[in-house]
Amino acid sequence: MDFIKREIMSHDLKIAGGKYPAIFNYRAIALAEDISGVANGYTLARLDEDYDKDGNLKRIGTGESSMLAKAGLQAREIIGLAYGMMKSAGVNVDVEDLEASISPSELSEIIKQLKEIIKHQDIKAVVDDSKNK
């Protein structure tokens, strides 16, 4: 029952000066993939691969243009993930409004928050050692 409890408990996501409930579950993932057009699977490992501990995009490629192109794609994915998580928690949010309300300087803080929510709501295996004793 721990997984079900974790899935329905919302966490606060702070965006543009407001607090909104957010849930990381399969519905959030599906909504995020619909918005971003990318079906990569949103896991903590995936976010850690692209972003450092402060939520900043890790350097990709050698030129400035490759970094900017990667940042633009990633921003759309992050906004999609925030949208999916908020929508799953029952927030009446429009993706265009959400996108317009997030400033580029706020994106790294949002990424840190999303990582924290995923860490708390990701599927965790429960090991029962009583059978092996």
Task: Report phi then psi at 17, rounded to 5.
Answer: 80, 0
Q: How confident is the model at residue 47 (pLDDT cuts 50, 70, 90)?
A: confident
Give the total number of structural domains in the chain.
Answer: 1
> CA torsion, points 99, 50, 108, 52, in degrees to nearest 10?
170
Residue 131 lies in a domain: no
Any domain includes 59: yes
Return the pLDDT at 68.
45
**Residue 24 domain-assigned (yes or no):** yes
- The answer to the question of residue 32 being in a domain is yes
Q: Is residue 73 part of a domain?
A: yes
Q: Taking 50 as the threshold, does the pLDDT of residue 121 lie above it?
A: yes
In a domain? residue 128: no
Within a domain: residue 62?
yes
Its domain, for residue 87, covers 6-122
Query: What percent of the chain clears pLDDT 70, i.e. is strictly above it?
Result: 66
